[in-house]
Amino acid sequence: MAARTFGERLVEAGQKYGRVCVGIDPHATLLGQWGLADTVDGLRSFSDICVDAFAGRVAVVKPQVAFYERFGSAGFAVLESTLASLRESGTLVIADAKRGDIGSTMAGYAAAWLEPGSPLEADALTLTPYLGVGSLAPAIEAAKTHGKGVFVMAANSNPEAVALQTGEIEGRMLSQRIVDECAAYNRDEGVGHVGVVVGATVAKPPALNDLNAPVLMPGVGAQGATMSDAAAIAGDVGHLVFPSVSRSVLSAGPDVAELRKRVVELGKQVVG
């Protein structure tokens, strides 16, 4: 039997724990709200609490790399430990690093985040496609080789993205073109490993029916969208869509029991 793809593993985890992706976003304001200092020690305490709350209890988590990177090498050391602890529990981890480059540089990013045994090893990596989806091939190929996944930015929720991502090239929205190019990598897989990111607040979302891979859908909760909004964009492929929530869950911290309770509550609201 062929090894399961990342997409298949994620769908299975969603069936077990609920289709919610929990963002781990230790920004300065949230550290303060949790009574933690905006220091590496505060970062470490925050991350340890998140591991305790979510490891082995949610389908997938998504640490935001920027909030670790701002502390330099010490922050990356905390991130390495956090990634390892989450993955050791069997929890799938998406490194939200939004990498995008060409050639050997893209291959370097792929080795850093997707190579088994790497200090920063994750199960999947977010990517930006604005040097062309084809430029991401080293990461896409590395992910397939190692049974991992990628999520390509397609239609983002921030207002600055709208004009660019809804613009047309040869009669097709750019966001749709990105989704379609990602879909080509998934045609020979049960559930593919090249997913996309589509915001739940996007007014003109791309069609997702032919992607055959997971979709991360941020924007639910604090950003104003509902689970029903996510379901409407998902259409007939709701089983592949994972609403991504951060503030809606993390505002319940630092109490571990409350964090777990909030995830369960949100999971019950997922439609489709």
Q: What is the DSSP string of 23-43?
A: EE---HHHHHHTT--SSHHHH
Q: Is 98 in the active site?
A: yes
Half-sphere exposure (CA, 13 Å, Cβ side) for 71?
A: 20
Show the 3-state SS of 173-230.
Answer: EHHHHHHHHHHHHHCCCCCCCEEEEECCCCCCCCCCCCCCCCEEEECECCCCECHHHH
How far is 122 from 129, CA to CA, in rounded Å?
20
**Tokens encoding 135:** 């430029």
How far is 52 from 55, CA to CA, in rounded Å?
6
How far is 35 from 48, CA to CA, in rounded Å?
14
> Which of 98, 144, 148, 204 is an active site residue?
98
Catalytic positions, please?
98
